[in-house]
């Protein structure tokens, strides 16, 4: 299905190279808009949708495909709060040859399967669950121990099993247009310091 050139989506940030939310070099896409409001979230700037960050989906895809990688991580914000836009974005990314799509969601995996099965058909890996700052985790892929990683594409199983077992956390710091972004998943105590530094 061809996407209308006028179809839009709220995107807070696109960045490449990203090395801290998934294995290997990736493009990171942060959706805008989130109703979960997790205590201790370091991405509060993505909670509210802003008109200045409303973009044409095809322009977003064009920007993503300019980077020399076929791996994408989608975070936010909550991607599934723009379900039709997310579906269109994923369809076009697949059409352009993207073959490793990792998505973070505050919704539990079973809820996503029941309500967004068409979207999951276009996703390779899901990390589910809200951030809970009372449940410390050592794993590199998640911010709190309640979150789980689901591999939907068996061809990527070995890659993500290795990534899942890693405990070596790293962060990327990005200064873009005067806005400071912390990319990656800090330890819970570190996230509190980051939030304090942003206030």
Read off the pLDDT of residues 17-69 as tens digits, 9 standing for 90 and up.
999 999 999 999 999 999 999 998 989 999 999 999 999 999 999 999 999 89
Q: Is 2 a member of any domain?
A: no
Q: Is 1 a member of any domain?
A: no
pLDDT at 196: 47
Q: Is 150 a member of any domain?
A: yes
d(CA 149, CA 103): 10
User: What confidence category does residue 190 fall into, taking pLDDT thresholds of 50, 70 and 90?
Assistant: low
Q: Which two tokens stand for residue 58?
A: 């095809």
Q: Is 61 a member of any domain?
A: yes
Task: Please compute the mean of the pLDDT values over residues 6-15 and round it to a whole number.
Answer: 97
Q: What is the DSSP letter of 4?
A: P
- Residue 142 phi/psi, 5-degree rounding, is -135, 150
The parent domain of residue 118 ranges over 8-198
Evaluate whether 72 touches 101 at the Cβ level (below 8 Å). yes
| Count of domains forming the chain | 1
d(CA 37, CA 41): 7
Q: Is 53 a member of any domain?
A: yes
């Amino acid at each position: 299905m061809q996407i209308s050139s006028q179809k839009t989506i709220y995107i807070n940030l696109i960045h490449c190279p990203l090395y801290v939310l998934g294995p290997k070099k990736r493009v990171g896409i942060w959706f805008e808009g989130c109703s979960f409001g997790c205590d201790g979230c370091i991405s509060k700037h993505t909670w509210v949708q802003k008109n200045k960050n409303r973009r044409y989906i095809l322009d977003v895809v064009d920007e993503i495909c300019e980077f020399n990688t076929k791996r994408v991580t989608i975070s936010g914000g909550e991607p599934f709060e723009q379900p039709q836009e997310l579906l269109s974005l994923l369809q076009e990314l697949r059409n352009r040859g993207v073959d490793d799509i990792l998505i973070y969601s505050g919704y539990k995996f079973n809820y996503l399967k029941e309500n967004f099965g068409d979207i999951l058909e276009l996703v390779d890996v899901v990390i589910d669950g809200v951030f809970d700052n009372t449940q410390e985790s050592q794993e590199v892929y998640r911010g709190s121990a309640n979150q789980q990683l689901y591999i939907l594409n068996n061809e990527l199983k070995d890659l993500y099993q290795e990534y899942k077992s890693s405990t070596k956390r790293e962060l990327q710091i990005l200064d873009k247009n005067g806005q400071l972004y912390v990319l990656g998943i800090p330890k819970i105590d570190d996230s509190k310091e980051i939030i304090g530094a942003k206030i």
